[in-house]
Structure 1
């Protein structure tokens, strides 16, 4: 049984569970390890605040949750500061061309109707309402076609590679599938 005042026992009992909790929210292994160290320091500094052994686990995960919130706040501020001084507010045409060149082989694997739709909506930022009028279809019909086309594109990506995706949907790693 874990003594509520013994930091070594608490850390041994809950470190792996805390790490899994962090990994569920943060994909970068180095950041997870850094945050684990931050949590350990917070536990050490505030262990005397724990009243009973029953409250240890909830207290630890509250610290972990607050640490994650602080992490994303810092990351958000750092990103804002980085963007303010170095990036134009509007996307450059050059970056759109780079993105189109990267994704083009995947889009080109789709039937023309779906490829043209994704290029217009997702690459050229044409509004769905405008594109629906241009095609002479209702807006709701076009929205359905966009979703279907994106689903087909996702299947092309999935056929190509295994993707690792974090809890908020960001791709953080991939591995090309080998042909058998």
Structure 2
């Protein structure tokens, strides 16, 4: 098992897991580095490659527990440090407020198509039949429209995407995005 390959595959997922449990981004980076060091020293203990992911997340979970235990010693925790009391929104929930304005920024026909398919849940086949077009043509148009919308997101935010294309984190490029 190669540490570099494993780390490249799971780093983004581990960081997202840490973000969901630790409120301070600097602490997340410190914990991620600590997990890397623990992985370097103890990866040989994992006998089956199928168990690497669960082992990594167990190391991450234990690191989070240790982090809060250290913090609790000698001082009282503040409300901001108690991650489990925060009603924080996920990355997808935070970005969801931008979807409708970005769709509306597209040309009318593309906005109508994405609204029907992605917002209202109409199947692509139904939409193609209803609008008298070939299904393969519609699939291509949907993909191009989604790509345009992705570009609008990228103009507004710096997206961190994992190896499977899932958004793990984002950072606004400016204080006020013109779209959302």
Q: Output the TM-score relative to the length of structure 2.
A: 0.54
Aligned to 1:123: 119
**Which one has more relative contact order, counting CA pairs under 8 Å at least 6 apart?**
2
Q: Which runs of 5+ in 2 are unaligned?
A: 16-28, 59-93
Larger radius of gyration: 1
Partner Cα separation in structure 1 for residue 53 and residue 131 of structure 2: 46
Pairwise mapping of residues 65-144 of structure 1 onto structure 2 (< 5 A)?
A: 66-68=51-53, 70-71=55-56, 101-144=97-140
**Distance in 2 of aligned mates of 1:169 and 1:32:** 23
Please name the residue that 2:153 is paired with: 157
Kept in 2, the 8 Å contact 1:22–1:68? The answer is: no
Structure 1: which 5+ runs fail to align?
Answer: 1-16, 47-59, 74-97
With structure 1 as the length reference, what TM-score do the two structures score?
0.54
Aligned length: 126
Checking the alignment, whether the CA contact within 8 Å between 1:22 and 1:32 is kept in structure 2 is no
Partner of 1:79: none
Partner of 1:37: 38
Distance 1:32 1:23 in 2: 13
Is the Cα–Cα contact under 8 Å of residues 164 and 173 in structure 1 kept in the other structure? yes
1:116 to 1:106, Cα distance in 2 relative to 1, 3 A = same
Mapping of residues 55-70 of structure 1, within 5 Å: 66-68=51-53, 70=55
User: For the aligned residues, what is the CA RMSD?
Assistant: 3.8
